[in-house]
Amino acid sequence: MSTTDTKLRGAAARPLSPHLDIYRFSWTMAMSIVHRITGAALYVGTALLAIWLIAAASGASSFAAVQWFMASFIGKLILFGYTWALMHHMLGGVRHLVWDMGLGFDRDRRFAMAKINLYGSVALTILIWVVYYIVR
């Protein structure tokens, strides 16, 4: 084996993996990151939902304590964030479903779907909370 063969098989001949210095930050990249974050946030929100259900099953005093917290400003802020995370993650799932069908891969549609994902999740969250306060 010659020295040239060794150099070609060594680290210098390996292709470089793409990294953040190569890519320009884009809407689709941001939505991918936020999709992962909202997925993790949904775990926390689901745990809060489980706590609420367990408190409801445990008795009136436990339920009243959890209800008091959820009715506070911090509780409502958490619930608002959970609602947004749920809507954002759902719309991101729809976006991925569209991609799974082989649609929306061209540049303009990718960016449009990413923007719709963000703006739609905000609009749906506000709509849900407005309807909640109207019905309540």
Feature table: binding site for heme: 89
DSSP-assigned states of every residue in 38-65: HHHHHHHHHHHHHHHHHHHHH-HHHHHH
The DSSP 8-state label assigned to residue 111 in this structure reads H
Please tell me the distance from the alpha carbon of residue 66 to that of residue 60, in angstroms, as a whole number: 10
Residue recorded with tokens 């802020």: 77
Q: What are phi and psi of 126, to 5 degrees?
A: -65, -40
Annotated binding residues: 89
Contact status, residue 42 vs residue 83, Cβ threshold 8 Å? no
Contact status, residue 10 vs residue 47, Cβ threshold 8 Å? no
